[in-house]
Structure 1
Amino acid sequence: MSRLSEQVQSAVPLWHEHLRAPFPAGLRGAESEPGGTDLVLLDADTAGCVLTWLNNGGTLDPERTRTLRSRIDDLDRVIPEITEPAGMQYYQRLRRLALFVSATLPGDG
């Protein structure tokens, strides 16, 4: 098994855990301050990149790579603002997934 397929396989359990977790009801429709990041959109964008990476065997196109890295920055800014424990856990898991995927991608050119 290649190193990349091992990385994909190691991300699958965390991905399934994320899929089973309900979106925190208290954060539906919420936006972070400052900057007004829509938390549902942040989840959808990040999860979409992770799913694409999984479906593509550990690769992402340059546009999704940029999106993922931008969303990691957003997660870093937003997570400290979340006070609800379920919301914090949800977004911390999403961030772990995003960081895992990002670490497997080529650096910015």
Structure 2
Amino acid sequence: MSESSEQVRNAARLWHEHRHAPFPASLRGGEFGGTDMVLLDADTAGCVLTWLNNGGALDPKRTRILQSCIEDLDRVIPQITEPAGTQYYERLRQLALLVSRALSSTK
């Protein structure tokens, strides 16, 4: 199995977990440092889903959005005090990093 197909498979597994995890109720409508948590989830998930649906490809605009999401995730995760919220956003960050690394390895 190629490295890229393994990356897609790993991301698909994490994506499945993420899709079935409930959004942390305490973070609905919440902001950390000016970052809307629902929007951060939606933007990151949109990039990941597009990458999965495109067989491991992402256009330059979404690649930039994904990088911005990773920066936001790195900044806000330490501020989340609820364990379920931390777990939810850590998994989302793992997905984003997996996609970002996969994109970097194909350049």
Question: What TM-score results when the alignment is normalised by the length of structure 2?
Answer: 0.94
Identity of aligned residues (%): 73
Establish whether residue 98 from structure 1 lines up as the match of residue 96 from structure 2.
yes
TM-superposed deviation, 1:4: 1.8
Instruction: Give the structure 1 partner of residue 23 of structure 2.
Output: 23
Establish whether residue 62 from structure 1 lines up as the match of residue 66 from structure 2.
no
Structure 1 distance, partners of 2:50, 2:101, is 15
What residue ranges of structure 2 are gaps of 5+ in the alignment? Answer: none
Q: Over aligned residue pairs, what C-alpha RMSD do you find?
A: 1.4
Q: 1:4 touches 1:57 (CA, 8 Å); kept in 2? A: no
TM-superposed deviation, 1:106: 3.3
Q: Secondary structure at the match of 1:105?
A: helix
Structure 1 distance, partners of 2:104, 2:17, is 26
User: Structure 1 counterpart of 2:7, which letter?
Assistant: Q
Structure 1 distance, partners of 2:10, 2:79, is 29
- Is the helix fraction higher in 1 or 2? 2
1:64-106 CA-partner distances (Å, limit 9, x unpaired): 0000001000000000000011000000000000000000113
TM-superposed deviation, 1:2: 3.6
Question: What TM-score results when the alignment is normalised by the length of structure 1?
Answer: 0.92
Q: 1:8 touches 1:57 (CA, 8 Å); kept in 2? A: yes
Structure 2 distance, partners of 1:11, 1:44, is 16
Structure 1 distance, partners of 2:46, 2:11, is 14
Establish whether residue 85 from structure 1 lines up as the match of residue 92 from structure 2.
no
Structure 2 distance, partners of 1:31, 1:23, is 14
What residue ranges of structure 1 are gaps of 5+ in the alignment? Answer: none
Instruction: Give the structure 1 partner of residue 41 of structure 2.
Output: 43
